[in-house]
Amino acid sequence: MKAILQRVSRGSVRVEGEILAEISTGLVILLGIGPQDGESNARDLAERVAKLRIFPDEDQKMNLSVRDVGGEALVIPQFTLYADTSKGNRPSFTGAAPPDLASPLVDHFVRELSSWEIPTQSGQFGAHMLVEIWNDGPVTISLEN
């Protein structure tokens, strides 16, 4: 399981021109699922995200978590995190989990993150999405589980 976290002042996702979800201060999480991933990976990654201290304290040091600042999360399913670009100019995505495995694990990750008292929304699995990310800092962190 791979995640790209972006600390944001706001974020949203649109599907077919309609806003599906939007957040203010918090994290936009681009989430990729591998074929070997399971519910324990989702649980462990959600805990790491919930506890990750990447928000500034009163001294502008990254000492606070998304929970500490009362932030929200927006999870965007993104199989392209498993792109293999080692051969040629066209990425291969065979390293990503198939949709019947990946979709339920994205939902499980969202539930696990929500269980940490972080208001969490998500994009639509398999849809063409337009994601708006107002990266704050900018701060971008890559996690793999």
Residue 47's identity, in one-letter code, is E
Tokens, residue 23: 């957040």
Determine whether 80 is an active site residue.
yes
**Burial grade of 67 (CB within 10 A; 0-12, 13-18, 19 or more):** middle
10 Å CB burial of residue 61 (0-12, 13-18, 19+) is exposed
Instruction: Tell me which of 79, 109, 120, 121 is the catalytic residue.
Output: 79
- Catalytic residue (choose from 6, 36, 60, 80): 80
Q: Is 55 a catalytic residue?
A: no
- H/E element, 114: helix 99-114
Q: Is 6 a catalytic residue?
A: no
Catalytic residue among 6, 55, 78, 121: 78
Q: Which residues are catalytic?
A: 78-80
